[in-house]
Amino acid sequence: MNNVLIIGAGGVGSVVAHKCAMVPEVFGEITLASRTLSKCDAIAEEIKKRTGRVISTAKVDADNAEETAALIRETGAKLLINVALPYQDLNLMDACLLAGCDYMDTANYEPLDVAKFEYSWQWDYQDRFTEKGLSALLGSGFDPGVTNVFTAWALKHHFDEIHTLDIIDVNGGNHGKAFATNFNPEINIREVTAECRHFEAGEFVVTEPMSKHQSFTCPEGVGTYEIYRMYHEELESLVKHIPTLRRAQFWMSFSTNYLNHLEVLQNVGMTRIDPVIYQGVEIVPLQFLKAVLPNPSDLGVSTKGRTCIGNVITGIKNGQAKAIYIYNICDHEACFEEVGSQAISYTTGVPAMIGAKQILTGDWKKSGVWNIEQHDPDAFMNDLMQHGLPWKVMELTPDQAAKFQVI
């Protein structure tokens, strides 16, 4: 039986648990665990109402590898699905090694006390997972995740070489709040305030955060939005595993309202990650800010609109220049109707379930630590169509490609 242990009971954890429960032919007993048992129990009750399926819940400290390993053994989990905080990735990988369990996540490791994220720490686990005969899948969300698989699939079916890659993430939704983040506020704000890096001519080029932006019109009437160049973790693995890339960039849309609020918060020190003393107690300003902002998992009820996330890719096929745009559009209200979540959590949680499915069915089961684009993309792409994230491909003429070339 393919028992699984899901660590993390936020918005994404809820989607993952719902979607796993909807595929009983693959997922056996499901256990949802976090530091706060009541959150797990609430999600389990919703899953029972929506699907009729009963899942188990447990309390666990994901920072404690021994405790997590004990829970893995108790549940008989073959796979740990990590949708907790990125700070906990290494502890959870350690737990899998201790208990003999496969591992997967949606975001790469970053230290708690440094605003920095990269794959090197997790790639260092390659030999340990190989020696144990265990598989670790890194970055099975949407970006990273689906965007990586889009690129691998495009290379397999549309290109002999890929030369440029522009990943464009647009959230055309409106939650009606004065200021809120669509996923964990602490992680979100650390990410968007970090210095920008994009890949060009064989190296990463560093620029100021959010210093380059332009207008981008999404297909199918989603709308026109201002997109800002920023660093995102899939660039690190994609330029390593697709060595013909000459330029790779990541873009995300932000409203003026969001950026104005963020600037004020930065100016008054509320985005700091170093501790300060307040009334004799040590607190981290960004963690306090997280506590007072709206919970992303509560935004689904009010969020309307659509997301549009995809890749503009250029390269050559049979000696001829070629360009495509591959994308998914996801409706916030449809996601809420299905699983009680807004589309940001949905577009991360569904690919996490699909990545888990690839491991449990054996398609992606191989020893070692692997980024998602290193596996064959076809079954994953088919599952996106079947499980709520259908995608489309636009063949672009040179003139059309020029319009998409966000450089």
pLDDT at 407 (0 to 100): 53
Question: If residue 17 lies in a helix (H) or strand (E), which one and from where to where?
Answer: helix 11-21
Q: Are 41 and 16 in contact (CB under 8 A)?
A: no
Query: What is residue 255's predicted lDDT score, i.e. its pLDDT?
Result: 79
Pick from 278, 301, 286, 355: nearest CA to 110 = 286
pLDDT digits (tens, 9 = 90+) for 239-257: 999 999 999 999 999 877 7
At residue 28's C-alpha, the angle toward residues 22 and 34, to 5°, is 85
Q: What is the pLDDT of residue 281?
A: 82
Transcribe 175-227 into DSSP letters.
Answer: ---SS--SS-HHHHHHHHTSPEEEEETTEEEEE-TT--EEEEEETTTTEEEEE
Q: Other CB atoms closer than 10 Å to residue 160's CB: what's the count?
A: 13
Residues 6+ apart with CB under 8 A from 50: 18, 339, 340
Q: Quick: pLDDT tens for 312-371.
A: 999 999 999 999 999 999 999 999 999 999 999 999 999 999 999 999 999 999 999 999
User: Closest Cα to residue 187, out of 103, 293, 75?
Assistant: 293
Domains in the chain, please, with CATH? 146-340+391-404 (3.30.360.10)
Give Dmax over CA atoms of the chain in angstroms. Answer: 68
Indicate yes or no: pTM above 0.85: yes
Q: For residue 232, what pLDDT is reported?
A: 94
pLDDT of res. 275: 87
Q: Identify whether the C-beta of residue 243 lies closer than 8 Å to the C-beta of residue 315.
A: no
Quote the pLDDT of residue 258: 78
pLDDT at position 176 is 66
What tens-digit pLDDT sequence spans the chain (407 residues)? 799 999 999 999 999 999 999 999 999 999 999 999 999 999 999 999 999 999 999 999 999 999 999 999 999 999 999 999 999 999 999 999 999 999 999 999 988 777 678 999 999 999 999 999 999 999 999 999 999 999 999 999 999 999 999 999 999 877 767 776 666 666 677 777 789 999 999 999 999 988 999 999 999 999 999 999 999 999 999 999 999 999 999 999 987 777 777 777 777 777 887 888 888 888 887 788 778 777 766 765 778 999 999 999 999 999 999 999 999 999 999 999 999 999 999 999 999 999 999 999 999 999 999 999 999 999 999 999 999 999 999 999 877 777 666 55
